[in-house]
Structure 1
Amino acid sequence: MVNRLEIRYNRAQNEIRRDIMGFTIRQAQPEDCVTIGRFIRLIAEYEKMSDEVVWDDATLYDQLFVERRAEVLLGEEDGQVVGFALYFHNFSTFVGRKGLYLEDLYVLQEKRGRGYGKAFFKRLAEIAVERRCGRMEWVCLNWNAPSIAFYQSLGAEGLTEWTTWRLSEDKIRQLAGL
C-alpha cells in the first residue's frame, strides 16, 4: 500500500491525476450521461431514497448538457468510473458572492478509503477558487456517520442550527394555484 499521495492538477486537460494509483478526475461529457444516471441511482440506493429518482435519461441529458443546470466530475481508476460529484452554483446574500453547492458525491463502496473522496473535494475547491466562490456547501443525512466524519476531517462545519425545507413539485403547483 502506498502511504504517500501525489496529486497533480493539469489545467490544460481539466483533470487531477493521481499517478501512483491510476486515479483521474475529469469533467463529464454528454456521452457520460448513462454513467451519471447509474451513479445517481447508486447514491439514491445508499441514501435509502431510490423511490425519489423520477427522471428519465432524456431529462437528465437536457438538464446537464443542454440547459447546463449542473456540472459533473467523474473519477476514474484505470479508466473505469468509480465515483462522481454533481455540483452547481448558488448565491449567498450574506457573502455577496456565488457559492459552489455539492448536490451529490459518491464513490463505489469497494473503492472507498483510497483518498478518492478527498481528491474530489480538492478538485471542487480548486473550481470554487477559480470561479471566485465565497463558500462550498452541501447537505448530509444525519445517520451517515462515515460521511460526517470525512467532512469534519476536511475542516467542514455542520450547520446544525439550520433546517432544510422543501416543497415538492405538486406542492409548488398547489401553492401557485395551478
Structure 2
Amino acid sequence: MIRTATATDVPVIHAMIRELAEYERALPEAKATEQQLHDALFGEHPAVFGLIAEDDTTGEPVGFALWFRNFSTWRGVHGIYLEDLYVRPSSRGGGHGRALLTELARICVERGYSRLEWSVLDWNEPSIGFYKSLGAVPMDEWTVFRLTDGALAELGGDGR
C-alpha cells in the first residue's frame, strides 16, 4: 500500500532517512531535523512531497519516497526528482520499491510531467539492476536515472 505522507509520518521518515544514510555510509552527513522535514513537507510553501509504503498486513511504514518538482528547459515541462527512496531491509523484495516508483510514474503521467529522475551510488549494484529492470537508463556523465516516454507511461499507466 502506498499513500501520501502526513505530518504524523515525519518521525518515521526521519528515522528511515538516518537508516538510508547509514546504508550509504554517510550517517554523519544526515543532519536534517524532524522540524526541518516537517517544514519542507507541510510548511506554508511545501517544497518536498512524500509517499509512504506500508506493510500489507500490519499497516506499518516500511519505506518512503521524498520528491520535488524539477523543470526541463529542453522539454518545456516539469518532472519529478526523486530525492530519496528507501525500503527497510526486512521488507525488501516485497514490491514496495516498485510500488513507490509506480506511484511516482503515475503522478508524472497524470500531471503531464515528462521525466522521473534520481541518482544512485555507483557501488549500489542491487539498486542499479532493479532500476534498469524498470526501463530506467543511466545518464553516463551523471549516473542519474530517468524514466521517460514509453517506459514512464508503462510503469505509471493503467496497465500496471
TM range (shorter): 0.7 to 0.9
Q: 2:36 aligns with which of 43, 46, 59?
A: 59
- Structure whose CA Rg is larger: 1
Q: How does 1:1-178 map to 2 (within 5 A)?
A: 24-66=1-43, 67-77=45-55, 78-162=58-142
Structure 2: gaps of 5 or more residues: 145-160
Runs of 4+ in 1 over 4 A off after TM superposition: none
CA–CA separation in structure 1 for the residues paired with 2:110 and 2:34: 31
- The amino acid of 2:49's aligned partner reads E
- The amino acid of 2:46's aligned partner reads R
* TM-superposed deviation, 1:54: 1.3
* TM-superposed deviation, 1:53: 1.2
**Going by fraction, where is helix more abundant, 1 or 2?**
2
- The amino acid of 1:116's aligned partner reads H
Check conservation: 2:80, 2:117, Cα contact below 8 A: yes
What is the CA RMSD across the aligned residues, in angstroms?
1.3
* TM-superposed deviation, 1:30: 0.8
SS at match of 1:26: strand
CA–CA separation in structure 2 for the residues paired with 1:57 and 1:110: 24
CA–CA separation in structure 1 for the residues paired with 2:38 and 2:141: 36
**Aligned residues, how many?**
141
